[in-house]
């Protein structure tokens, strides 16, 4: 597995979700995309700026790209991440080029008040940014602290920080050849500060059976980690063998599909590699030249 195999599919998952992102009616999404979502689309909701077009990233993807750029400029270190993230956040606040979410707003407000603390946001978005770390390290002893630290810059909720560790451990294991069942159970067995990992893995496994849309709706399609974490695993369990179907199914569920898509792309890229995804997903990604330039060769 190369850095490209692990990182690029994470961006695919985010960009594919942009069209129906934050639309909470899967039936409406099914009307818009009767054959499933297999190509990029401009946002259908009013949350994203009008400047966002098909092949763009959501604000989660934009922050993930900012992390990749920060890591590349610091040789894989997070030394510049606080300053680089703040520059990104202040820029989009002023030029409105990306959605200004609650975690970003809360963290900036704390910084403006002289308090170097993250927001108390409990959304999965902070943990979902971790894919760029895999371009610079594959050692669990290094990767886990980096995953937790990059998340804790903007998300103070201990479950979100724990989730970053869980998915870092899982993706690393999958890249080493382990299957999803084995990987998720093993990653859940580690002690966490707050994450009910074993319970949520069980929820995800159970939700993978039957009507996935109904199960996901019952868990909660919003930003909160309590629904987003098990739904991400449910889609992974259901579509482990078909990465394209996995990212399409995730986008078709709607809600906060972009955060889930970033993590699903990482997991499925670790399992299948970037070549398993359509070539047009790479060529159609508007930030592809920047991503390819920043990835270590």
CATH of the domain at 270: 1.10.4080.10
Could you give the CA distance from residue 221 to residue 232 in angstroms, rounded to a whole number?
Answer: 10
Which pTM was predicted? 0.98
pLDDT attached to residue 277: 98
Q: What are 52-96's pLDDT values in tens digits?
A: 999 999 999 999 999 999 999 999 999 999 999 999 999 999 999
Could you give the CA distance from residue 129 to residue 153 in angstroms, rounded to a whole number?
Answer: 12
Position 24 confidence tier, pLDDT thresholds 50, 70, 90 = very high
Could you give the CA distance from residue 101 to residue 61 in angstroms, rounded to a whole number?
Answer: 13
- The one-character DSSP state at 131 is G
DSSP letters along 54-119, please? TT---HHHHHHHHHHHHHHHTTT-STTHHHHHHHHHHHHHHH--S---HHHHHHHHHHHTT----B
Domain with 171, as residue range(s), is 3-294
pLDDT attached to residue 5: 97
Q: What is the mean pLDDT of the chain?
A: 97
- The one-character DSSP state at 156 is -
Q: What are 222-278's pLDDT values in tens digits?
A: 999 999 999 999 999 999 999 999 999 999 999 999 999 999 999 999 999 999 999
Q: What angle do the packed helices 225-238 and 197-207 form, to 10 degrees?
A: 50
pLDDT attached to residue 200: 98
Q: What are 162-219's pLDDT values in tens digits?
A: 999 999 999 999 999 999 999 999 999 999 999 999 999 999 999 999 899 999 999 9
pLDDT attached to residue 103: 97
Residue among 222, 238, 230, 155 nearest 199 (CA): 230
- Is residue 1 predicted with pLDDT exceeding 90? no
- Is residue 122 predicted with pLDDT exceeding 90? yes
Half-sphere exposure of 244 (CA within 13 A, CB side): 14
Could you give the CA distance from residue 110 to residue 107 in angstroms, rounded to a whole number?
Answer: 5
pLDDT attached to residue 210: 87
Could you give the CA distance from residue 242 to residue 276 in angstroms, rounded to a whole number?
Answer: 9
Number of domains in the chain: 1
């Amino acid at each position: 597995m190369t850095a490209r195999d692990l990182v690029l599919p994470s961006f695919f998952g985010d960009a594919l979700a942009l069209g129906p992102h934050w639309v909470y009616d899967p039936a409406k999404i099914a009307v818009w995309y009767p054959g499933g979502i297999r190509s990029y689309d401009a946002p259908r909701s009013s949350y994203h700026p009008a400047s966002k077009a098909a092949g763009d990233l959501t604000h989660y993807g934009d922050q993930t790209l900012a992390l990749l750029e920060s890591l590349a400029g610091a040789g894989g270190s997070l030394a510049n991440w606080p300053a680089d993230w703040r520059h990104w956040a202040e820029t989009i606040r002023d030029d409105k080029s990306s959605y200004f979410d609650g975690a970003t707003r809360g963290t900036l407000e704390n910084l403006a008040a002289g308090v170097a603390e993250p927001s108390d946001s409990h959304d999965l978005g902070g943990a979902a940014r971790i894919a760029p770390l895999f371009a610079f390290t594959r050692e669990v002893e290094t990767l886990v602290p980096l995953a937790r630290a990059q998340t804790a810059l903007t998300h103070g909720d201990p479950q979100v920080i724990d989730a970053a560790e869980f998915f870092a451990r899982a993706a690393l294991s999958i890249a080493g050849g382990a299957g999803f069942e084995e990987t998720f159970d093993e990653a859940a067995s580690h002690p966490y500060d707050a994450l009910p990992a074993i319970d949520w893995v069980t929820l995800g496994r159970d939700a993978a059976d039957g009507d996935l849309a109904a199960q996901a709706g019952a868990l909660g399609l919003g930003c909160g980690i309590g629904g987003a974490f098990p739904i991400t695993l449910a889609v992974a369990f259901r579509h482990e063998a078909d990465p394209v179907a996995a990212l399409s199914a995730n986008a078709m569920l709607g809600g906060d599909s972009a955060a889930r898509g970033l993590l699903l792309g990482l997991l499925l890229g670790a399992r299948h590699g970037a070549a398993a995804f359509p070539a047009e997903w790479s060529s159609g990604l508007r930030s592809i030249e920047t991503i390819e330039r920043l990835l270590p060769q």
